[in-house]
Structures are given as structure tokens and as C-alpha cells.
Amino acid sequence: MNAKHHIKRVTIIGAGNVGHNFGLAFRQAGYLIAEIYSRTQNSAMLLSQTLNCNFTTNLKQLTDKTDLFVIAVNDDVIEEVIAQIPHKDKPILHTSGSTPIEVFEGKGFEKYGIFYPVQSFSKHETESLTPIPICVEANSVKNEDLFLSLASSVSSKVYSLDSKKRKALHVAAVFANNFTNHMFHIAHELLAQNKISFEIIRPLIEKTADKIKHEKPINAQTGPAIRNDRKVIDEHLKYLDNNKDYREIYDIITKDIYKSQKNK
């Protein structure tokens, strides 16, 4: 089944990082962008100019000349947005990793689902969706087939995942992406306090990321924690005495690394 036979015009609701990247990806895949919605006129207008389409700041005035609504807004306003969208006969998707499919129930839509990209996006660094995994869920087998076909037209890595599994994936993604990036920030701060360039450890970070292309993370682990090298660990904890937050993070992660190595 080719999704383009069923869906030709797409409306993007949200002009942030996800909406920006999705709009460009759908257009690149051959879809027409019918309209952009954003709460603020400036962001809606800017993205509409990029995508050469109309825009609105009023959900109730969304055009019915579309084949699909894609919601790309913050999780805490998804339900509120769904409730205001007219044209209940159109298929509708949200792009959240943590909001369950039940958010659509009782809102009048017959064809709905989830289109979750396992990636973080930036307006300033537009990415193709082709190599990015897209996780799909729908309220019926027929609609899942439609959304899987749509996903396959923009990505080479498409998965059918229910809300429970997607929640686990989203939590794992926070650990793998957001938390590791915060560790880089802590490392940057510790280096900056001593006037040391972050460039010195950049190759180490890249090497670590490269290792897990070929082996499980637990087997790639190095450092004093896996050996429970108390002399080094205690010295590090003492060094961090003046920063209790960093000290606590170091201690908790060290203990968990050691425990995981013992249990593997």
C-alpha cells in the first residue's frame, strides 16, 4: 500500500523543532503541506514561508482541504489541541513519545494514532527522517496499515509499537540522550573551572559512542567503578566535596555501574 494514494496534503500543528523537521521531511517525500498552525503568528508565518503554505493561529479555523493532521506540540497541551481541531473525519496523529493513544478517545475522531520519531530535533539543524526510526500505533489494524505506509514513505526504519512499549522506549531515550548530554555538560563545567578545553575529551566521547555500535554498553564499560577501585573513587568524591550535586550523581552512578557489572 502506498500512503500517498490516500494522503497527499498534510497539516502540521506546531511550528517548533518537531513541526519544522516534519514539515520539511513530508515535503521532501512529495507531500503537499496544506497549512501550518502555531499559537504565535511569527513562528507560524516563518515556517509557512519555508514550506510555501498557508498558516493560522486559530485551531478552529484550520482548513478542511487536508488529508492528515500531524500534532507536533508540547505533551502538556496535546489533549487541549486535539479537542479544538474541527474536521473529525480526517486522520490525525501526534508525535509524542510519552502520551498514550487514549488521549484521542472521546474527541470525535475515527482515524487516529501515533507517529513517534526516535530522535531529538533542532530548527537550526534540519535532518532527513530517512534514517530515523518512526514508531507507529493506531486505533485499528486498517489505520495502522495506513500510518505504517505513511511512515515508510519518509523513513527506512519503521516499527509498530503500542503505548506501553513506547513509554519504555521514551524513558530509555531520556537516559541515552538527555542524561548523557547532561553528563557532557558536567564534564564541560569541571573542565572550565580549571581552564581546560572541552576539546581534550571530545575524542573520548566519540570513541565511547563508536564502541556501542558493535557491542552491548555493559560490555564496553570501563573506569574505576567496574573494578570498585575505592582509592580512585574516594579521591574523586573528595574532589567533588564542594559540589554536592555532582558528588551525589558520581556516587549513585558509580554504585549502579558496579552493581550492574556484578550481575551481568
Q: Which three cell numbers stand for residue 152?
A: 515508510
Mean per-residue pLDDT, 159-166: 93
The pTM (predicted TM-score) of the whole model is: 0.84
pLDDT for the residue 1: 42
What percent of the chain is predicted at pLDDT more than 90?
A: 89
Phi, psi of 225 (to 5 degrees): -65, -40
What is the C-alpha separation between 67 and 185, in angstroms, rounded? Answer: 43
pLDDT tens for each residue of 39-60: 999 999 999 999 999 999 999 9
What is the C-alpha separation between 101 and 162, in angstroms, rounded? Answer: 8
pLDDT tens for each residue of 198-217: 999 999 999 999 999 999 99
Query: Domain 167-263 belongs to what architecture?
Result: Orthogonal Bundle (1.10)
* Domain 3-161: which CATH number of 3.40.50.720, 2.40.33.10, 3.40.640.10, 3.40.50.880: 3.40.50.720
- Which part of the chain has CATH 1.10.1040.20? 167-263
Do 217 and 264 touch, CB atoms closer than 8 A? Answer: no
- Which part of the chain has CATH 3.40.50.720? 3-161
Torsion 65-69-72-75 (CA) sign: positive
Do 111 and 101 touch, CB atoms closer than 8 A? Answer: no
